[in-house]
Chains A and B, each alone.
Chain A
Amino acid sequence: MPTDDATTLFYEIVWPLRADVVRFAQFLCKDAVTAEDIAQETLLKAFRALGRAHDRTGNQKAWLFAILRNAWRDRLRKRQSEVRFEDLADEPSAAEIGTEAVEYWNDPQALLNGFSDRQMIDALQALPDEIRWTLLLVDVEGVGLQEAAEILDVPLGTIKSRAHRGRSMLRQALLPLVRKMRRLDEPSPVAGFVQPEEL
C-alpha cells in the first residue's frame, strides 16, 4: 500500500518525467487513446512501486521505461489470449533489406532534417514492435545501450544489431519520400524542348 512517503517521492521523482512517458507512449502507439492509457498505467504502476524499496540513485527515466514496457506487454496480453512477440529471427537482416539507393542519401543529415517530425514518427510507427522499441529507447530517448538491453531483456549485442537494423529499415521506409524530394529538386525539362542525349 503506497504511503505518504510514496506520494512525496512520486511528485519528486516521477512527476518531472511524466512528459517523457507520455511522449514515449505516443510514439510507440499509433492510437492516441491507447497511448494515454499506457502512459497513465505506467505512472500509476510507478507510484505503486515507490511504496516498496526504491533505488533513487539509478536512472529514473530508464526505470520508468521498464515499467512502460510492462504496461505495454500487459495490454498486449489482454488483447490477445496468447501473445506472440515478433520473431525477429525471421526478419531480414540489414544487409538483406535491400540495397538502399545510396545515391539518394548523399548529405543524409540535411535530407533527414527536411522530413517533418510527423513523417519521422509515422515511419517509426511502421516498424516492427521490437525494432521500434529499440530505436525509441536508444535514439529518441538516449537511453544507454546496456540499459536498453535490460529494459528489453535481451543481450547487449542484440540491441546493437537491432539499432543498426532499425535505422536501416527506417531509411528504407523513408525512401519513397526521399525519391519524391529528389525528383522535386531536379529541374524539369522545358515543354517542347528535347534534352540532348549524353554522349
Chain B
Amino acid sequence: MQVWSTSAQLALPIDVERVSRLDLEFIDVRRDRGSFTVLVFLNADELAQNAGRDHERFAAGYTVFAQSGCWGASGHCDWERGPASAFDRRPEHHLRPFNLTLDVTRAVKRLGNPDALKLTIHAAALDDPAATDVFRFRQVAALAYQ
C-alpha cells in the first residue's frame, strides 16, 4: 500500500462557509499499471494505515479502472508519443493520463474553516497490495466555487 502526504499544504484563504462546492483535482493521473483504489484524508495527523471511509478525516475515495501493463509489442503503450505530424487527426493514446476530480465539500466543511489543507493519501493496487507506487499524478489543486 502507498501512503503519501502533500509536501506543502494547499492554502485555503477563503470563507469555507460561503463555498457551495470544493473539489480536489488531481492532474495527469497515470493509468498504465493496473486498477487501484485511493482514499483521501484531510488534515489527518498520525493516521493509522488501516484508516477507512468511516474515519472522521476521510474526504473522498475512488477506484480507478485501468490497464494492467502493456500487452503489445515494444512501444505499443508509449502514451507520451505525440502526433506524427500536424495532419495527424488520430485520437490521443488511450493511456494518456487523465484528471480526476473529487468533491470534498462535506469533509472540508466538517473541519470548520481551515486555512489550509494537508492531504494524506492511502492507495492500494488491486492486483498487488504490496505496491507502493500506485497513485501517480503531476499536481493536485483545490478548487472552491461560490
Are A and B a genuine interacting pair, yes or no? no
Q: CB within 8 Å of B: which residues of A?
A: none
